Structure 1
């Protein structure tokens, strides 16, 4: 059931980012950063869903690492957008915070899986 909650949450995260991006003023920087942000933020949910269909623990771990990387990239582009759109700081910060929470969950999961695998190997 926890995986269903995270599937819903990662999808909602992508939708929230899409809505924020649609409010940005059009200029070269916003266009380029927004394009990157759409790709990496939507990849978070897509790769989490793929992780839930993993064929093995190693496959699951690899897919979670991709989710981790995409979340980190998403947060980076939020930081850039905030520099050039200070009037949207509150909305950007809300999305950045959710990304940071999701990132913490993914990193914690990765650490737990690695510990469990190490314990299994030494048992």
Structure 2
């Protein structure tokens, strides 16, 4: 896979994660706590995808590093909120585990991209 294909694949993965998080939230029981957590979760997941797209059209290496740093933070926040939902048993592990796995993989990929960008 060349760099362009990799970038497009990661755009699709981050967008799919955002959509999957939205659909997941739509299925869980709504309480005051899950509404608050769900809002934060949706914001961070959609921000991950949107900011990754912005990073891909950065005008400089410095701008890319800045934007990819935001993406890493938002993806990690998404992971945090999914872990909170798991730890509180507000959602089933069957529903959460695929999201947790994909989010962790995305965090690792993006963290490596940020590290590589910082080394240039």
Moved over 3 A (4+): none
What is the CA–CA distance in structure 2 between the aligned matches of 1:33 and 1:104, rounded to whole Å? 23
Q: Taking structure 2 as the reference length, what is the TM-score of the superposition?
A: 0.92
Shift in Å, 1:43? 0.2
What is the CA–CA distance in structure 1 between the aligned matches of 2:90 and 2:29, rounded to whole Å? 12
Shift in Å, 1:90? 2.0
Q: Taking structure 1 as the reference length, what is the TM-score of the superposition?
A: 0.90
Structure whose alpha-carbon radius of gyration is higher: 1
Q: What is the RMSD computed on CA atoms of the aligned residues?
A: 1.1
Query: What's the counterpart of residue 25 of structure 2?
Result: 21
Structure 1 spans left out of the alignment, 5+ residues: 118-123
**Where in structure 2 are the equivalents of 1:75-114 lying within 5 Å?**
75-85=79-89, 88-114=92-118
Q: What SS class does the counterpart of residue 92 from structure 2 fall into?
A: helix
What is the CA–CA distance in structure 1 between the aligned matches of 2:31 and 2:91, rounded to whole Å? 15
Residues 71 and 110, structure 2, Cα contact 8 Å, conserved in 1:
yes
Structure 2 spans left out of the alignment, 5+ residues: none
Shift in Å, 1:110? 1.2
Number of residue pairs matched by the alignment: 116
What per-residue deviation string (whole Å, max 9, x for no partner) do you get for residues 10-54 of structure 1?
000001111110011010110000000010000000000000110
**Where in structure 2 are the equivalents of 1:43-82 lying within 5 Å?**
43-82=47-86
